């Protein structure tokens, strides 16, 4: 990227980003006060912030327990009409949700455009937004993809370099139509990414010398509040903690009621040691724990997970607990978990997700899950 482009990004966003670097203030009693929140919500809207917010002195932490993931708004699995996408965003806002996660990958820019369309007239200090870097899009009228439905009009290429990061952030701001980003995740830099395959460590080295250093610099410049990785496996996060200074990881699929042992015993202790928090992506395993016959993103239904879901559902029925609600609350119980971001495709789904964070779950439900060895004995609940 040339100097002109770099200077443009810095001058166009630094003033606004710096003004929103600290959305949370403190009263004389030490209680958190969130700038801009009181004049954008009403008394009947639930407060989605954690009761006891703990922030690292060195690393930014998302200040909301629940957010909204933008995969579905990118036409994942099947098409979602524009009006329905807008209504979903409005329902999330009306329910008090103020954290939104998206990516250039989701619908090859469609998710960012839709989320930005709703947020463009909102005050930036009233919400938190995260997006991703690692893929750059370019025009291609004929490109199709198995996961993203409808006409895409764009293709993609990988770029984990410093210049690629700056270009990606600028492109995202243009698609979103907003003035600043809060968190940037390096996306899919992971062995499960079929595009990268066995070469993921080569790409990781590029990111280590490029994207990671550049995002750290952008954080120091005040252009973003924090950065990390957005991944579906644990190894890249552990590796990043060894070679860089991330703030927060978006860990998808690895901490849910279905499976959580590795994250609990490997990722969590490492993150706590470095003062790094985690956002839970795919807390419902791409809808699986909400009753959808889809597990993650490849369409396969592992028999052992289907069996476990049935056992979980039976115990939930016995205790009159909504399994989706239990799944969401489970993902934010650990101290290291800052937020959970279930996706939503409709107003009804997002309203149900928001309501789940206020529901009361009896302690005996969790005790039985541990007794039946359906969740780990040391899993926080």
**Each residue of 256-285: pLDDT tens digit?**
999 999 999 999 999 999 999 999 999 999
* Burial of residue 2 (number of CB atoms within 10 Å: 0-12, 13-18, 19+): exposed
CB 128 within 8 A of CB 66: no
Tokens 């370099």, residue?
A: 161
Decide if pLDDT at 180 tops 90. yes
- Least confident range from 194-203, 298-307, 320-329: namely 298-307
Residue 12 pLDDT > 50: no
pLDDT interval class at 2 (50, 70, 90): very low
CATH superfamily of this structure's domain 3-371: NADP-dependent oxidoreductase domain (3.20.20.100)
The DSSP-derived string for 72-83 is GGGTBSS---HH
pLDDT at 147 over 80: yes
User: Which residue is associated with the tokens 């940037």?
Assistant: 184
Estimate the crossing angle of helix 323-332 against helix 347-356, to 10 degrees: 60
Does residue 1 surpass a pLDDT of 80?
no
Lowest-confidence segment of 287-296, 313-322, 335-344 by average pLDDT: 287-296
Instruction: Calculate what percentage of the chain has a pLDDT beyond 90.
Output: 80
Q: What is the pLDDT of residues 349-377, one digit of tens each?
A: 999 999 999 999 999 999 999 999 999 99
| Res 297: pLDDT | 75
Q: What is the C-alpha to C-alpha distance for residues 177 and 244, in angstroms, rounded to an integer? A: 30
Joined together, the tokens standing for residue 362 give 């009896």
Rounded Cα–Cα distance for residues 204 and 42 (Å): 45
How far apart are alpha carbons 138 and 155 in whole angstroms? Answer: 5
Model pLDDT for residues 191-213, shown as the tens digit of each residue: 999 999 899 999 999 999 999 99
pLDDT for res 294:
81
Beta strand spans in 255-349 (E): 277-281, 337-341
pLDDT tens-digit readout, 224-253: 999 999 999 999 999 999 999 999 999 998
> pLDDT-derived band of residue 47, with 50, 70 and 90 as boundaries?
low
Residue 6: band (very low, low, confident or very high) from pLDDT cuts 50, 70, 90: very low
Nearest to 249 by CA among 231, 269, 263, 273: 231
pLDDT of residue 296: 82
Give the least confident one: 30-39, 51-60, 117-126, 300-309. Answer: 30-39
């Amino acid at each position: 990227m040339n100097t002109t482009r770099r200077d443009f990004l810095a001058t166009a966003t630094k003033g606004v980003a710096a003004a929103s670097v600290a959305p949370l203030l403190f009263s004389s009693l030490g209680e958190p006060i969130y700038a801009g929140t009181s004049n954008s919500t009403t008394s009947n809207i639930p407060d989605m912030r954690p009761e006891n917010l703990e922030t690292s002195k060195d690393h930014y932490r998302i200040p909301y327990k629940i957010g909204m993931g933008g995969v579905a708004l990118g036409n994942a699995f099947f098409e979602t009409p524009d009006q329905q996408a807008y209504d979903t965003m409005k329902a999330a806002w009306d329910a008090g949700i103020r954290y939104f996660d998206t990516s250039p990958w989701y619908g090859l820019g469609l998710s960012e455009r839709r989320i930005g369309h709703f947020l463009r007239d909102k005050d930036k200090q009233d919400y938190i937004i995260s997006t991703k870097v690692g893929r750059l899009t370019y025009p291609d009228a004929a490109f199709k993809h198995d996961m993203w439905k409808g006409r895409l009009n764009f293709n993609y290429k990988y770029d984990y370099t410093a210049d690629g990061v700056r270009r990606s952030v600028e492109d995202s701001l243009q698609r979103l139509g907003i003035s600043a980003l809060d968190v940037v995740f390096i996306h899919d830099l992971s062995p499960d990414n079929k595009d990268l395959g066995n070469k993921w460590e080569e790409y990781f080295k590029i990111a280590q010398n490029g994207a990671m250093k550049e995002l750290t610099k952008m954080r120091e410049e005040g252009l973003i509040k924090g950065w990390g990785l957005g991944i579906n496996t644990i190894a890249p996060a552990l590796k990043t903690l060894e070679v860089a200074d991330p703030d927060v990881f978006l860990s998808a699929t690895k901490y849910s009621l279905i499976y959580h042992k590795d994250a609990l015993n490997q990722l969590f202790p490492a993150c706590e040691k470095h003062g790094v928090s985690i956002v839970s992506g795919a807390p419902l395993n791409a809808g699986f724990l909400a009753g959808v016959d889809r597990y993650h993103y490849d369409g396969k239904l592992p028999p052992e997970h289907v069996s476990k879901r049935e056992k979980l559902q039976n115990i939930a029925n016995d205790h009159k607990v909504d399994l989706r609600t239990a799944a969401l609350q489970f993902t934010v119980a650990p101290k290291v978990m800052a937020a959970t971001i279930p996706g939503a495709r409709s107003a009804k789904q997002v309203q149900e997700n928001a309501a789940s964070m206020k529901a009361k779950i009896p302690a005996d439900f969790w005790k039985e899950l541990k007794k039946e060895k359906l969740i780990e004995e040391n899993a926080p609940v």
